Amino acid sequence: MARAGLTTNRLVQAAAELADEVGFDKVTVSALARRFGVKDASLYSHVKNAQDLKERVALLALAEMADVADDALAGRAGKDALVAFANAYRAYAKLHPGRYAAAQLPLRPEAAEAGAGRRHSEMTRAILRGYGLPEPAQTDAIRMLHSTFHGYVSLETAGAFSHTPREISVSWSRTLDALDATLRNWPPE
């Protein structure tokens, strides 16, 4: 029987908070059980195992990121949309480092299909339509944008840019200018 007060949603939310505090790689069923002051077995009526727990945190993070990006994109197009999307992505990653790491977890196809990953792709494709990019250029551009955003945010949060006097936010802005220029001048196939 499930312990009173424990629900799957409550556990996943607590696991997401734990990920932000200690790192996604340290989220375990045992660590979560300790947080609630219960035995590990008490959680198995809500989650199958550690992988299921981590996948649920990833899905939560993807949904939260999609909501933030969706709000940022409202009423924007072209470069304004690109910048708003990128800034929402970066802000979420900095505010929720553990959840952001969770969002990078490779998901089982059925979980990915049910999650918000498709929303991210649709929002990115909407931005790219503003640049007139057809397929397969859209897919290539989506990969470029995600790689750039993820790489920049990962290096920034690891402190890799702290060795130069140039403001990180200035470099970020210039990176977005360069992405906009690249998208406007996409090379033909």
- Sorted by where each starts, the structural domains of the chain and their CATH numbers stand as 57-184 (1.10.357.10)
Position of tokens 């933030």?
68
The position carrying tokens 């996409």 is 186
Query: Helix H segments across the chain?
Result: 8-22, 29-36, 50-73, 78-95, 97-103, 109-114, 117-129, 137-157, 168-184
Cα distances (angstroms) measured from residue 12 to each of 26, 55, 72, 152: 14, 10, 25, 28
Give the per-residue pLDDT at 143.
Answer: 94
Cis amide prior to 106 (ω within 30 degrees):
no
Model confidence band, residue 23 (pLDDT cutoffs 50, 70, 90): very high
pLDDT, tens digit, 9 for 90 and up, residues 68-127: 999 999 999 999 999 999 999 999 999 999 999 999 999 888 887 778 888 888 999 999
- State how far the Cα of 132 lies from the Cα of 15, in Å rounded to an integer: 41
Q: Are 40 and 29 in contact (CB under 8 A)?
A: yes
- Quickly state the pLDDT bin for 1 (edges 50, 70, 90): very low
Q: What pLDDT score was predicted for residue 3? A: 52
- Residue 97, sorted as left (phi over 0), alpha (psi -120 to 50) or beta, turns out to be alpha
pLDDT for 39-66, tens place per residue?
988 899 899 999 999 999 999 999 999 9
Average pLDDT of the residues in 164-172: 94
Contacts of 119 (CB under 8 A, 6+ apart): 66, 70
Q: At what angle do helices 78-95 and 137-157 cross, to 10 degrees?
A: 40
Q: Which residues contact 87 (CB under 8 A, 6 or more apart)?
A: 72
Residue 8 burial (10 A CB sphere; 0-12, 13-18, 19+): middle
Average pLDDT of the chain, as a whole number = 93
Residue 166 has pLDDT above 60, yes or no: yes
Cα(36)–Cα(145) distance, rounded to whole angstroms?
39
pLDDT more than 90, % of the chain: 81
Tokens of 11: 């556990």
Q: Nearest 5°: CA angle at 76, between 184 and 127? A: 45
